[in-house]
Amino acid sequence: MSLDPAVYGDLLLSLLPELVLTGWALVLLLFVAWRHRTARDLRIAGWLTLVALLSTAIAVWWLWWNRATLGPGLVAMVAADDFRWVADWVFLGAAALTVLISFAYLEREQLLIPEYYVLVIFATLGMMVMAAGADLMVIFLGLELMSVAVYVLAGLDRRRARSAEAALKYFLLGAFASGFLLYGIALAYGATGTTNLGLIGGQVGIMGKPSVMLLAGLALLIVGFAFKIAAVPFHMWAPDVYDGSPTPVTAFMATGVKAAAFAALFRVLNQAFAPVAAWHDILWWLAVVTMIGGNLFALGQRSLKRMLAYSSVAHAGYLLVAVTAGGAAGTSAFLVYVIAYTLMSLGAFAVLSAKGRAGESDVLIDDLAGLASQRPWLAFALAVCMLSLLGFPGTAGFIGKWYILIAATSAGQNTLAAILVLTSAVSAGYYLPVIMAMYMKPPAVEAAHRDVYLDRWGRIAVAVVVVGLLLFGVWPNRLFDLAKSAGNSVHATTATAATPP
């Protein structure tokens, strides 16, 4: 199905998922404006959110099924390709899992704020706009829409100083990063006279040797994105913000927000700056420093939540390897890894939210001692998530890492691949103690885990995660097909990539 960007109807059709989600967001806003007192209202808002996410996913599926593409003609502000659809599913899935683990959490922590769900929807919408953007301005709009919603989410628990601190920190540094990004966009515009990714790519190709202004713009763009994905040395905010935010929000930030920033980064680098060789080197170093830094910092953490925060920094490093490898293989590897990462990270945070009380930052890894004997299923789920984060065969995390390794080595980045596996080995030093505490240490007191509770929806979320991780770990064929077509879709225009196996 080819859509003509000159026809309004077609243009609207290409934005169908975003429009559906916006519509639901407005409906939900109306709903919570007059029903926002009881826990029941909160639950209804949550269910409505799930329905909204599901219907949006169906809209995405419809466009994907019909192979919707924007035909030639006017230069489009949005892209319609498989990359966007797959990324949308990741965001929607992350949001849905977040909602599932939020039900019990919000009630338990007495956060009877139904606007929470509206904000989740708006943040998801922003992510989808980011992944769709074929123009720097659209990407920026999406980024701001997402970020503003997440700033509020981070400070949702306003009675806790930590949450307020997280929100403020996130806001200040996020605004700062947005400034970088915007300035980068301005410079890129100055150098090429356009903000459209495809046109910039064309200009850069004609230019031959890139101008200083363009390079400066590129550098600022990378810095802006590096803040958002929490790459070392722009990661300073991440541990505190992840630590202070309510756990479901942290899960959402670590997965959805990160995935969206990466998706936009991919598009910008591969479509606008593909001919510029400089970013490969910059990202190479960024990836190396992030992998080493993230893993070493995580090694020193005793709090489970902080450990997961730093581990998400490390995973940003692995994803950066996929970006550095570039090409269709790198893009596909990125998507597979992001799907795996979203599942395993959300699963870990879900179990953490069941264990923690009023600020999970106080849950030490050692506090999990004996969980396996008292809550075998939860312990099993967390163990699967940890092994997957470690990249152990049989789990989706391994498949993702394997794909990144293939992308990196086929791009000639053998050193990067070796650093990736060596830092992965380091990560065993902090993922295994979690398993060790749960299975190999006796509980500190008899009833250590009596109040660990995950409601029905939380259990469904964890079950989905575990089944997904194991299924993709053993039989990833469908996932590969999807990721491969998505990877090729981004590179159909540039086609600079070496053909992957």
Partner 1 sequence: MYARWVLTALLAWPLLAGLIVLLLPARLAKYVALAASLVEFVISVPLWWTFVPSGGMQFLVDRAWIPAWGIHFTVGVDGISLFLVLLTTFLIPLSILGSWTYITKREAGFYALLLVLTTGMIGVFVALDLFLFYVMWEVMLIPMYFIIGVWGGDNRLYAAIKFFIYTFLGSLLMLVAIIVLYLHAGRATGAYSFGYAHLLSNAKDLGPAAWWLFGAFFLAFAIKVPIFPLHTWLPDAHVEAPTAGSVILAGILLKMGTYGFLRFALPFFPAVALNQNVQLVIVVLSLIGIIYGGLVAMVQPDFKKLVAYSSVAHLGFAMLGIWALTLQSVQGALLIMINHGISTGALFFLVGMLYERRHSRLIEAYGGIARVVPLFAAILTIVSLSSIALPGTNGFVGEFLVLLGSFRTYPIATTLATSGVIIAAAYLLTALQRVIYNPLKNPENEHLTDLTPRELAVLIPLLVGILWLGIYPKPFLQRMEPAARSLIEQVRPSAASTAGQP
Contact (CB, 8 A) for 116 and 102: yes
> Which residues, at least 6 apart from 134, have a Cβ–Cβ distance to it below 8 Å?
76, 77, 78, 79, 196, 197, 198, 267, 271
Q: State the binding string over 316-355 for partner 1 (x if CB under 8 A, else -).
A: ----------------------------------------
Interface pattern 414-443 for partner 1 (x via CB under 8 A): x--xx--xx-xx--xx--xx--x--xxx--
Kindly tell me which residue out of 393, 453, 456, 463 binds partner 1, with binding defined by CB under 8 A: 393
Q: Smallest distance from the beta carbon of 484 to partner 1, in angstroms?
A: 7
Q: How far is the CB of 288 from partner 1 (least distance, A)?
A: 15
- Among residues 410, 485, 488, 489, the one that binds partner 1 under rule CB under 8 A: 410
392 is a site residue for partner 1 (CB under 8 A): yes
Rule CB under 8 A: say whether 394 interacts with partner 1: yes
**Residue 501 lies near partner 1 (rule: CB under 8 A):** yes
The yes or no reply on residue 387 touching partner 1 (CB under 8 A) is yes
Phi-psi region of 392 (alpha: psi -120 to 50; beta: other; left: phi over 0): beta
Mark residues 206-235: x for contact with partner 1 by CB under 8 A, - for none. ------------------------------
| Residue 480 touches partner 1, criterion: CB under 8 A | yes
Residues between 84 and 123 that touch partner 1 (CB under 8 A): none
Residues 246-305 that bind partner 1 (CB under 8 A): none
Dig out the tokens for 491 from the structure. Answer: 């590179």
- Whether the CB-CB separation of 107 and 39 falls below 8 Å is answered with yes
Instruction: For partner 1, give the closer residue by CB, 260 or 407.
Output: 407
Regarding 71 and contact with partner 1 (CB under 8 A), the answer is no
Considering only residues 156, 181, 405, 461, which one is a binding residue for partner 1 as defined by CB under 8 A? 405
3: phi then psi, degrees, rounded to nearest 5: -100, 140
Binding-site size for partner 1 (CB under 8 A) equals 32
**Residue closest to 461 by CA, chosen among 308, 268, 288, 248:** 248
3-state helix/strand/coil string of 398-442: HHHHHHHHHHHHHCCCHHHHHHHHHHHHHHHHHHHHHHHHHHHCC
Q: Quick one: which of 10, 44, 12 has its CA closest to 27?
A: 44
Per CB under 8 A, the segment of 170-178, 319-327, 356-364, 412-420 that binds partner 1 is: 412-420
> Nearest 5°: phi and psi at 78?
-120, 155
Tokens 């996410």 sit at which residue? 53
Can you tell me the distance from the alpha carbon of 454 to that of 343, in angstroms, rounded to the nearest whole number? Answer: 17
Nearest-angstrom CA–CA distance, 132 and 83: 9
Binding site for partner 1 (CB under 8 A): 373, 387, 392-394, 402, 405-406, 409-410, 414, 417-418, 421-422, 424-425, 428-429, 432-433, 436, 439-441, 475-477, 480-481, 484, 501
